[in-house]
């Protein structure tokens, strides 16, 4: 947002202070004024929310602390940054203001350049927060599987259709049923599927479900508890697919057919995802109901077509 479109609410009962702040900021921001806490509250409730509030402490009626307390207790207004600008110079007053949720505390007489700098800093922080929230919202919308709340009925319906380009079953996470021991090859198969989903259109991996869609559970993997299981899986994702993939891979344990299984829901990655393990690197995509590694020439063509400059 351009600075000229950002609005500042000045709350002060002293005309001289209002004039100083108005003249200091009017060239860069839209300025609103309230001469009491009560009028400020009405203005906030009945008009567009300000991007920041400059708030005096000592005012008749509702003082600045009381107004700040009300705003921070209301979920509609608690995210508005508040800077106290006051003649109260005692450190106890500053401590109280910051504990109430203000982002800054400036004492009078103030340096105009310092005021402008601190306002700009807080507005920049808020703009970055909003951008991150928008990015997170966008990531969560990727694919049809992001944080879907599975019920027994929806799981049964999903599994009944069998494996496909967006659904795969794995009997265990690390236990080799045939060799009867923990085996990294089993882990690799799970990571391979997730990497393929990320490089394609997303999908769901169900661990603890056999090829026929029957719940096998996670007991074979011999984790002490659910937390150890989830920690182990997240560490595998971070180490072998990339720490940033945690933003678009959602993992949870669910009950299915009376057994505890692991559901791994994957969105679409905005960058190429390589599986790196045992000194080797692979690029997987979904082809029907399987995950396939592409040859270098195939991979380059796929990456150029899908990701462009992100490669």
In angstroms, the CA 279 to CA 71 distance is: 55
Same domain, residue pair 10 and 132: yes
End-to-end distance of the chain based on CA atoms, in angstroms?
A: 30
Same domain, residue pair 167 and 91: no
Domain edge (last residue) among 107, 140, 173: 140
pLDDT tens profile 124-156: 988 887 776 665 555 444 444 444 567 778 888
Which stretches of the chain are assigned E, i.e. beta strand? 7-11, 30-34, 52-55, 82-86, 104-107, 167-170, 175-176, 181-182, 203-207, 249-256, 259-266, 275-277, 280-282, 284-287, 290-293
Of the given ranges (90-94, 215-219, 289-293, 305-309), which has the lowest mean pLDDT?
305-309
* Cα angle, residue 218 at apex, residues 213 and 224 outer, rounded to 5°: 175
> What is the sign, positive or negative, of the torsion defined by CA atoms of 110, 114, 120, 122?
negative
Which pLDDT belongs to residue 210? 95
CATH number of the structural domain spanning residue 199: 3.30.950.30
Listed residue (37, 3, 221) closest to 126, CA to CA: 3
Half-sphere exposure of 101 (CA within 13 A, CB side): 20
Same domain, residue pair 132 and 246: no
Listed residue (261, 99, 94, 91) closest to 171, CA to CA: 261
Same domain, residue pair 173 and 272: yes
CB-CB neighbours of 48 under 10 Å: 10
Same domain, residue pair 245 and 147: yes
Greatest C-alpha distance within the chain: 83
Its pTM stands at 0.53
In angstroms, the CA 6 to CA 30 distance is: 6
Mean pLDDT value of segment 232-236: 93
Of the given ranges (71-75, 82-86, 148-152, 286-290), which has the lowest mean pLDDT?
148-152
In angstroms, the CA 72 to CA 144 distance is: 36
Of the given ranges (115-119, 142-146, 156-160, 227-231), which has the lowest mean pLDDT?
142-146
Which pLDDT belongs to residue 137? 55
Same domain, residue pair 164 and 303: yes
pLDDT tens profile 38-68: 999 999 999 999 999 999 999 999 999 999 9
Mean pLDDT value of segment 228-254: 90
CATH number of the structural domain spanning residue 31: 3.40.50.2300
Same domain, residue pair 125 and 245: no
Which pLDDT belongs to residue 3? 53
Domain edge (last residue) among 140, 166, 182: 140
Identify the domain containing residue 197 by its residue range: 142-310
Contact of 126 with 49, CB cutoff 8 Å: no
Mean pLDDT value of segment 259-284: 92
Same domain, residue pair 156 and 297: yes
pLDDT over 90 at 308, yes or no: no
pLDDT over 80 at 266, yes or no: yes
Same domain, residue pair 296 and 177: yes
Same domain, residue pair 155 and 212: yes
Adjacent-strand bridge partners of 182: 175
Report the number of distinct structural domains present in the chain.
Answer: 2
Adjacent-strand bridge partners of 177: none
Same domain, residue pair 62 and 192: no
* Torsion of the alpha carbons at 116, 122, 126 and 128, rounded to the nearest 10: 90
Same domain, residue pair 133 and 163: no
How does 158-168 read in b/e, with b if 16+ C-beta sit within 10 Å?
A: bbeeebebbbb
pLDDT tens profile 177-189: 989 999 999 999 9
Domain edge (last residue) among 91, 124, 140: 140
In angstroms, the CA 236 to CA 277 distance is: 10
């Amino acid at each position: 947002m351009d600075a000229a479109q950002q609005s500042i609410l000045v709350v002060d009962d002293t005309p001289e202070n209002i004039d100083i702040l108005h003249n200091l900021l009017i060239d860069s921001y839209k300025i609103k004024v309230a001469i009491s806490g009560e009028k400020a509250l009405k203005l906030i409730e009945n008009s567009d929310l300000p991007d920041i509030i400059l708030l005096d402490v000592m005012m008749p009626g509702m003082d600045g602390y009381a107004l700040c307390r009300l705003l921070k207790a209301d979920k509609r207004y608690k995210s508005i940054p508040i800077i106290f600008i006051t003649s109260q110079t005692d450190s106890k007053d500053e401590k109280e203001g910051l504990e109430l949720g203000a982002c800054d505390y400036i004492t009078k007489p103030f340096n105009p350049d310092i005021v402008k700098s601190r306002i700009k800093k807080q507005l920049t922080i808020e703009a970055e927060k909003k951008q991150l929230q928008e990015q997170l919202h966008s990531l969560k919308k990727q694919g049809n599987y992001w944080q879907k709340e599975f019920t027994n009925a929806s799981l049964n319906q999903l599994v009944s259709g069998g494996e496909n380009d967006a659904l795969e079953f794995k009997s265990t996470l690390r236990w080799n049923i045939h060799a009867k021991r923990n085996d990294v090859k089993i882990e690799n198969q799970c990571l391979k599927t997730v990497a393929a989903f990320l490089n394609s259109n997303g999908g769901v991996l169900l661990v603890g479900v056999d090829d026929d869609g029957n719940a096998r559970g996670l007991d074979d993997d011999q984790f002490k508890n659910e937390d150890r299981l989830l920690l182990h899986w997240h560490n595998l994702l971070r180490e072998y697919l990339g720490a940033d993939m945690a933003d678009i891979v959602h993992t949870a344990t669910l009950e299915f057919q009376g057994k505890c299984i692991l559901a791994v829901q994957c969105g679409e990655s905005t960058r190429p995802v390589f599986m790196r393990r045992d000194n080797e690197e692979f690029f997987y995509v979904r082809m029907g109901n399987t995950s396939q590694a592409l040859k270098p020439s195939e991979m380059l063509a796929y990456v150029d077509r899908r990701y462009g400059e992100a490669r």
